[in-house]
Amino acid sequence: MIAVLMEAGLAEFGDIDFMVKVLKAVGEGTTEGKLWAQGTARVGEHYGVKRIPVIKKQAISAYDPRTIEATGISMMTTAQGADHTAGNLPRLETRNMSLEAILAESLKVQGLVAVNDSMGLCIFGGSVTNVNHPFIAEAMNDAHGTAITPEFFKELGQATLRMEKLFNLKAGFAAQDDDLPEFFYQEPLAPTQHVARFHGEEVNSIYDSLLDPA
């Protein structure tokens, strides 16, 4: 949001004093602060900024979807809006992969993250917990007298993604809401000079396999 204010001409990029001023205004609830507290999308619209980096009005993180494509697809498709923590794959080399393969990788990691979120497990511990579902199931069963199997975790992740997708469908979200802002498709990012390749209508089907036929 602060970067969008700078884009609007309220300050130069890198102006630390201005950043502090903005945060203080938001904290104090001044007239400007109340406007700025509404977030990146509404602030950008208010000031007439053309380059507003949001998806579903949620601000995009520093994982630029022009080069970090799998994370970009996760941000485009997740129900929350541009949330890189919903399925981050920053090291996946995607330029020689088909879109179907990228979607599959994104869906897989989104399912694992949904498990961690549902279980209260730390996302930064995923390299351990994601590959030790049998151990976690055994620990839970020992602690609670349950009969959870390792397969439960995949089912939990898929069910979570399904419910989130159905919620958004009922809320009126459609394929075009998964689009990136237009400047990602038009402005190459140095040094690769890549632009975004995929649109909402191409990636929106990612959860189709999880939805009930009805």
Q: What is the pLDDT of residue 213?
A: 55
Share of the chain above pLDDT 70, in %: 99
Give mean pLDDT, residues 183-200.
97
The mean pLDDT of the chain is: 96
pTM of the model: 0.91
* pLDDT per position as a tens digit, 75-108: 999 999 999 999 999 999 999 999 999 999 999 9
Q: Given pLDDT bands bounded at 50, 70 and 90, which one contains residue 123? A: confident
DSSP for the chain, please give it: -HHHHHHTTSS-TT-HHHHHHHHHHHHHT-HHHHHHTT-HHHHHHHHT-S---EETTEEP-SS-TTTSHHHHHHHHHSTTSS-GGGS--TT---TTS-HHHHHHHHHHHHHHHHHHHHHT--GGGHHHHTT-HHHHHHHHHHHH-----THHHHHHHHHHHHHHHHHHHHTT--GGGGPPPHHHHHS-BTTTTB-----HHHHGGGGGGGS---
Q: Are residues 6 and 12 in contact, defined by beta-carbon separation less than 8 angstroms?
A: yes
Q: Given pLDDT bands bounded at 50, 70 and 90, which one contains residue 150? A: very high
**Distance in angstroms (rounded) separating the CA atoms of residues 106 and 87:** 6
Q: What are the tokens at 79?
A: 């129900």
* pLDDT per position as a tens digit, 176-186: 999 999 999 99
Give mean pLDDT, residues 199-213.
91
Give mean pLDDT, residues 43-55.
97
**Distance in angstroms (rounded) separating the CA atoms of residues 67 and 16:** 28
